[in-house]
Chain A
Amino acid sequence: MRDVTITELERLGGGIADAEATFQMDEEAFRRFYERTARPVWAYLARMTGDPRLADDLLQEAYYRFLRARPALDDEAHRRNYLFRIATNLVHDIRRRPHVDDNALPERGECETSEAHGGDVAADTVRRIDLARAMARLKPRERDLLWLAYAQGSSHGEIAQTLGLKASSIKMLLFRARRRLAAILRDTER
Chain B
Amino acid sequence: MIECLREADVFEAIAFGRWPADADAELRGHVAHCPVCRDLVTVAAALQSDRQALVGAAQPPTAGVVWWRAAVRTRAEATRTAMQPITMWHRVVAACVAVVAAVLSRDLWQWGRAADVLASFGGQRAALVLVGLVAALVLAPLALYFTLADD
The interface of chain A, by Cβ under 8 A from chain B, is 12, 15-16, 18-20, 22-23, 27, 30-31, 34-35, 38-40, 42-43, 46-47, 52, 56, 59-60, 63-64, 67-68, 106, 109-114, 116-117, 124, 127-128, 131-132, 146-147, 150-153, 171-172, 175, 178-179, 181-182, 185-186
A179 shortest CB reach to chain B, Å:
6
In the A-B complex, the 10 residue pairs with the smallest Cβ-Cβ separation, listed nearest first, are A43-B54, A19-B74, A182-B39, A151-B51, A34-B63, A31-B63, A151-B47, A38-B60, A113-B57, A150-B44
Expressed in whole angstroms, the Cα–Cα distance for A20 and B68 within the complex equals 9
Q: Are B47 and A113 in contact (CB under 8 A)?
A: no
Interface residues on B, range: 35 or more
Q: A127-B49, A150-B48, A151-B48 are in contact. Are A31 and B71 (CB under 8 A)?
A: no
Q: Are B53 and A31 in contact (CB under 8 A)?
A: no
Q: Are B54 and A35 in contact (CB under 8 A)?
A: no
Expressed in whole angstroms, the Cα–Cα distance for A52 and B58 within the complex equals 9
Q: Are A110 and B39 in contact (CB under 8 A)?
A: no
Q: A110-B54, A124-B53, A131-B50 are in contact. Are A181 and B75 (CB under 8 A)?
A: no
Q: Are B74 and A68 in contact (CB under 8 A)?
A: yes
